[in-house]
Amino acid sequence: MPSKWPIDITFKEIILSVNEKTCRQCGSDLAICSHREHRIYGLEGAIKLICKQSHCSNKKCSSRSTLVNPESELMITMPRWRIDWNLFTWMGFRRFKRHWSVPQIHEELLDSYQVYISENTITDYLRKYQVMVAAWHQDLERMREAYKDCQGVILTIDGLQPEKGHETLYVVRELKKQRIWFAEPLLSSSYTEIRKVIRHAKDLAQQLNKSILGWVSDKQDAFVVIIAEECPNIPHRYCGNHFIRDLAEQILENDSHAKVQMRRKIRGLRTIEKEILAELDQYQEKEGQLTYKQQTYAVNIVLDYCAAIRGILNDNHGGPLTPPGLRMAKALEEVSQSIEHNISLKETPIYSKLKRLYGYIKRGLSIYYSEQKEVEKYAKEIKKVENTLNSEKGKLKNRLAKFRRLKSRFKNADDLVKNQMSKIMHSFEAGLFVGDDNLSIPEDNLDARKMVQETKGT
């Protein structure tokens, strides 16, 4: 925070007076005794608050030495702050809603609003913003008002791992209102530490006078044991997202290995691009402008294909049902079919380069073909398992029966991968089909859309 204000800065003066007219202690009139200046930055420029301080006019009053400050000052800023509330909320909104960096906020304040405060000062105010938002969010009266129409609450606990070596942040959320209740950093995930978090959530539900209808978490041993002890007879659903990921772990590993091999075989894109750019330079020097434009149009087709292929190779999205390698192979196959259609036509100036691109893609796909059928086969089986978790696919009893039939088939299969899938299904079964058809517990702790729909119907 700067110790001095810029010399050429112009302040907008605002005079503030005490609203009270009489002393609270003796009832005598209050008299203005001094003026205090409070200089701050706002979005509309620098502001000078002139606060008229008062004290009791009765010299014998015990509170005469106490200065009374204008209450309206707190509506503009806080004591000893250098910014007003509007600027304070402006910074918080851009940092936590729009995810601006502190240097970015600093530059914007300097360039657009002529606010001369340091990055360290901005960081300090952002910490205050976080504390205030957390206090507002956890205010019991506000929470009681938010949950007054809810018959009960469904809680989820999950650990967020920051950088290696830092404490794990355990977050407890309520799913009916999609509201974060609290978060606590823990040095370890021991039973003792997890018990404190569960008890805190339990106590908060009691203060709101709401019963806990269910819990959702991953199948971490500490969660399973502590929730069963602290919340007996309350359904505890294991997160379906974690279950499906564990179920597909071996398939994803095989897919990832094949994907890496496929990418290694698709080389030469940059070489083709360099050749095209060099040819364009030659055409511009030797041929007319019209010929140059025609050639540019043609070679841009090759450059676009190269860009599309590079984008596909750098795309690592996917999941258990659409493994990244399988997704990549299907996208490359579509591009190769498009190139094949072009090279099947009459020969053009870019024919040779398209032919080379086609060869690069086919060379890479040939590596993945051996794994593709296996990956697709297991992905279909995982999809069948996932359907048994979906409450829209039937009643709980029927879905559980289908789940057990799949588990039994995997167990008896002459396939090590399916045997392992059967073991994972058995270990998760107790927490995947809990409650009943009348109590809708989310399939996983990321199922926000479903809970929003339920909230609207509450």
Domain range annotation of the chain: 11-134, 153-235, 243-438
User: Within a 10 A sphere around the Cβ of 68, how many other Cβ atoms?
Assistant: 19
> Of the segments 21-35, 275-289, 433-447, which one has the largest average pLDDT value?
21-35
Cα-based distances in Å from 123 to 74, 127, 183, 203:
22, 6, 21, 33
- Tell me, what's the pLDDT at 396? 87
pLDDT confidence band for 283 (50 / 70 / 90): low
Q: Is 246 left (phi over 0), alpha (psi -120 to 50) or beta?
A: alpha
390 in Cβ contact with 444 (< 8 Å): no
Nearest to 378 by CA among 248, 269, 219: 248
pLDDT classification of 316: cutoffs 50, 70, 90: confident
pTM beyond 0.75: no
pLDDT in tens, 338-347: 988 888 877 7
Q: What is the mean pLDDT of the chain?
A: 86
**Token pair belonging to 335:** 């591009």
Tell me the pLDDT tens digit for each residue of 377-428: 999 999 999 999 888 888 888 999 999 999 999 999 998 989 999 999 999 9
CB hemisphere CA count around 62 (13 angstroms) = 3
**Residues with Cβ < 8 Å from 107, sequence gap 6 or more?**
none
CA distances from 212 to 57, 259, 351, 366, 458 (A): 58, 45, 67, 54, 16
pLDDT score recorded for residue 295: 64
**High-pLDDT (> 90) share of the chain, %:** 44
Place of tokens 């058809």: 437
CA 240 – CA 217 distance, rounded (Å): 9
Backbone angles phi, psi at 211, to 5 degrees: -80, 150
Tokens standing for residue 429: 């079964």
Residue 358 phi/psi, 5° resolution? -60, -40
Residue 446: name the closest of 44, 160, 92 by CA: 160
Per-position DSSP letters for 155-182, written without gaps between them: EEEEEE--STTSPEEEEEEETTTTEEEE
Determine whether domain 153-235 maps to CATH 3.30.420.10: yes
First-residue to last-residue Cα distance in the chain:
49
> Band of the pLDDT at 122, cuts 50, 70, 90?
very high
| Paired residues of 308 in beta bridges | none
Pairwise CA distance, residues 266 & 329, whole Å: 12
* CA-wise closest residue to 91 among 53, 127, 48: 127
Question: Is the pLDDT confidence value at 170 over 50?
Answer: yes
Checking if the pLDDT of 288 tops 60, the result is no
For 108, the token pair is 């914007």
Strand partners, 186: 168
